[in-house]
Structure 1
Amino acid sequence: MKNNVTTPALLEKYFPLSAREKADLEQVVAVHPMNIPRYYLSLIRPDDPNDPIRKMCVPGSEELIVVGAMGDTTKDPYGDDKHDKGNGILHKYSYTALVVATEYCAMYCRHCFRKRMVGLSNDQTVRNFQEASKYIADHPEISNVVISGGDPFLLPTDVIKAMLESLKDIPHLNYVRLGSRAPVVYPMRFFEPELLDVLRRFNREKTLFVPTHFNHPREITPEATQAVLNLREAGLNVHNQAVFLRGVNDDPETLTELMNDLVRIGINPYYLYQCMPVARVRHHFQVPLKEGVDIVDRARQQMDGHAKRFKFIIGHDIGKLEICGRVDDKLILKQIHARSEHPEEASRMLIRQLTDNGGWLDDLPEVELA
């Protein structure tokens, strides 16, 4: 990881940059750091200026855009701040606690919805995991924990072991998730026997899941496939949470290939997230919902039952909303999770009027289906 590409000067050794590109890059990384493993950099096709792998890891001048035709942007579209219980704990849903274990990742993805904090010192990460586990133990309504970040697999193995050990004996905790993009961008982490042994031992006591984050079929390399196999052979379940991204996977053929390839290597397609309206992300990565719902439907027509199990999701401040489809120009959504302060909103249906540019729930007026 010490050899990651973190500056425009280092990037120039791999890709020629014009003076303007370099100046824009310097401006972007001053706000949102760059961090690219050389492994992931090797997946880029340097002769393709629109390469989807490059779009996800190399900063671009588009990140300087904070307003535009897509609508407003925000720093916190998922409502992390208002559900922050301190010491890295976000308690949005009564039954789930999310622990932000670190602000660091193996790679700083350009579409990240926590872009405001990843790679930057902040107060929203865990400082004392024993206290975090005490909060979880003191709330019997919590049935599962998500350890996220940043990327928890960037922590030392002994730290991961201690975190898991502190959760092992909480009786009302059914399972734990370790959310990570490391199998995609730095799969070599999962070639380490010590780490795999820690995960295997914990999984014997309490079920452990790894939700990962493949967005494009070219990310499913032999190395990534082996990393996933190592996790599966340790007994873990691996799920995938992709993000629907302009210029990366916004066509039926790419989405179909991605989901089929995930199933082929033993990963369960779980969520496809609508790109959030994050500042310096929305205006070059978000696909309008009117266009996106049709792309996803056409892709699903080509998939078998296992590949199409994923839910197309808006991760909104009010909770998680499944995008079910559309009737003419009316978008049909079902709320599948609601905030703990509004439990009555779970499982309700929402109908919104599609517009040409609307990419988020707040952009679409409420309408009746009839």
Structure 2
Amino acid sequence: MTLTYDATVSPSAGRRFRAYTTRHLDELTARAGLSEAERLEVRAVATVLPFRVNDYVIDELIDWSAAPDDPLYRLVFPQADMLPAADVRRMADLLRSEAPKPELTAAANEVRAKLNPHPAGQMVLNIPKTGEEPFNGVQHKYDETVLFFPKQGQTCHAYCTYCFRWAQFVGEPDLKMASDNIDRLVAYLGKHPEVTSVLITGGDPMIMGEGVLNRYIEPLLEIDQLESIRIGTKALAYWPQRWVTDPDADDTLRLFERVVAAGKNLAFMAHFSHPREMLPELAQEAVRRIRNTGAVIRTQAPLIRSINDDADTWATMWRMQVRQGMVPYYMFVERDTGPQDYFAVPLARAYETYRDAYQQVSGLARTVRGPSMSATPGKVCIDGVTEIAGEKVFVLHMIQARDASLVGTPFFAAYDENAAWLSDLKPALGATKFPFEA
């Protein structure tokens, strides 16, 4: 299979990657028109939650004339009201007084501890019933799927403000999930023939160069039981140069070809939060090049207030994905971590948004599932709102479950217009427990 560049891609797209972090935050937020007091509050939030962006996102995606209300600006830049006002004041006072770094870090950690850094038992790495000692960097939550967190992939080209894995990026070793022990993963898979899929995730695995990525992927190609290898990434939106103009772009694509040639389904789990991320020709060329290797690109994102919380945005996004040969896969509900109160959309409105967007697209886009909550017992999908025996209820089912016997099981929850997560719901129709609580 011959790999070729698209001649319409600007030569300037080959520029070197440049990251901007908290030390650049004051200058960048001034560009958005924020006052000195507002910029201090944003910096206060950034002492608790991670901030990282790059020149591609700044120059190609953000509409600075609409900042700070622009959805792509809000996608990557902290907002002053993402944390409780008292916590923001506390951190701002420490910054204003130029408090020593250890004091600032200690205060930030106290705030982080209140934000549920690892939702859905993320630090419980193996299914307890296996009786094996957990090892950091591997999750085996569902029988057929293992998640692997490569040590070198524990950052991203830019950070989403709503990211449920924000705790990976704040520099606290006790909050990190990572491993560089591919041999131990291979040995684990040998003991678990029920595993047919490995998801390489992070951070973002595509932050790694081809040589490092190859070291993790090649051993998996020799495991007959594996049907698919998945790579979870936001890089198609935040740094498409990774597959077009980066020095190892062609080598990376050849690695993808080897995965497909080995008889594995290479599923590229692309995270797109807004249609604008798919507009640049560079991003479209990256999609074409990945698909030319035989990989399948599946798309997913959470429903996020102030960024993509309307049906037209999602319908447009799904149609663009189908047009470019990608497969719409999941609409997620914002997880119960970090600034959830700031970004969460109530479940009732989430369902309405999904339904109204779903009605606007053809059957090719109706591969998408949602709204789905990746909660402790599994992935819970909201199928609708209806009335049964005079009681208004949510209709739900388990897409995935720690207890595989519950997959596909429908159940009902009392309707609550303010509920934003599974823990906010109560059983309906006289039930005292949900199926996963039995």
TM-score normalised by length of structure 1: 0.93
For 1:133 and 1:118, how far apart are their aligned partners in 2? Answer: 27
For 1:231 and 1:121, how far apart are their aligned partners in 2? Answer: 34
Provide closer, same or farther for how the CA distance between residues 132 and 119 of structure 1 changes in structure 2, counting only shifts above 3 A: farther
State the Cα distance separating 1:12 from its structure 2 match.
Answer: 4.5
Is 1:125 aligned to 2:167, yes or no?
no
Preserved contact between residue 78 and residue 317 of structure 1 (Cα < 8 Å): yes
SS of 1:266 mapped into structure 2: coil
SS of 1:133 mapped into structure 2: helix
SS of 2:230 mapped into structure 1: strand
Preserved contact between residue 105 and residue 119 of structure 1 (Cα < 8 Å): no
Q: More helix by proportion, 1 or 2? A: 2
Is 1:352 aligned to 2:403, yes or no?
no
Corresponding residue of 1:368: 429
Alignment of 1:102-251 (within 5 A): 102-118=153-169, 120-122=171-173, 123-191=176-244, 192-205=249-262, 206-221=264-279, 222-251=281-310
Corresponding residue of 2:141: 92
SS of 1:303 mapped into structure 2: coil
112-121 or 220-229: which moved more? 112-121
State the Cα distance separating 1:137 from its structure 2 match.
Answer: 2.4
Q: What per-residue deviation string (whole Å, max 9, x for no partner) do you get for residues 198-254 of structure 1? A: 111122102211001111111112221111111001111000011111111111111
Aligned-residue CA RMSD (Å): 2.0
Higher relative contact order (CA 8 A, sep 6+): 1
Corresponding residue of 2:78: 59
**Larger Rg, first or second structure (1 or 2):** 2
Provide closer, same or farther for how the CA distance between residues 66 and 299 of structure 1 changes in structure 2, counting only shifts above 3 A: farther
Preserved contact between residue 5 and residue 11 of structure 1 (Cα < 8 Å): no
Pick aligned residue for 1:291 from 349, 363, 370: 349
Letter in 2 for 1:253: D
Corresponding residue of 2:361: 303
Q: Which runs of 5+ in 2 are unaligned?
A: 1-15, 87-113, 127-133, 432-438
Preserved contact between residue 147 and residue 176 of structure 1 (Cα < 8 Å): yes
Corresponding residue of 2:36: 19
Corresponding residue of 2:63: 45
Q: What per-residue deviation string (whole Å, max 9, x for no partner) do you get for residues 315-357 of structure 1? A: 1110011221111441111102111xx2332221121122121
For 2:46 and 2:17, how far apart are their aligned partners in 1? Answer: 18
State the Cα distance separating 1:131 from its structure 2 match.
Answer: 1.8
Letter in 2 for 1:334: H
For 2:358 and 2:85, how far apart are their aligned partners in 1? Answer: 33
Provide closer, same or farther for how the CA distance between residues 104 and 241 of structure 1 changes in structure 2, counting only shifts above 3 A: same
198-207 or 91-100: which moved more? 198-207
Pick aligned residue for 2:396 from 333, 336, 339: 333
Preserved contact between residue 214 and residue 242 of structure 1 (Cα < 8 Å): yes
Q: What per-residue deviation string (whole Å, max 9, x for no partner) do you get for residues 256-315 of structure 1? A: 1111111111110000001112122x1121100112211211111111111122000111
State the Cα distance separating 1:158 from its structure 2 match.
Answer: 0.5
State the Cα distance separating 1:155 from its structure 2 match.
Answer: 1.1
Q: Percent identity?
A: 29
For 2:27 and 2:185, how far apart are their aligned partners in 1? Answer: 38
State the Cα distance separating 1:13 from its structure 2 match.
Answer: 6.8
SS of 1:56 mapped into structure 2: helix
Corresponding residue of 1:268: 327
Extract structure 1 runs of 4+ deviating beyond 4 A: none
Provide closer, same or farther for how the CA distance between residues 300 and 359 of structure 1 changes in structure 2, counting only shifts above 3 A: same
Preserved contact between residue 83 and residue 90 of structure 1 (Cα < 8 Å): yes
**Aligned residue pair count:** 363
Provide closer, same or farther for how the CA distance between residues 343 and 38 of structure 1 changes in structure 2, counting only shifts above 3 A: same
SS of 1:314 mapped into structure 2: strand
State the Cα distance separating 1:118 from its structure 2 match.
Answer: 2.8
Is 1:78 aligned to 2:120, yes or no?
yes
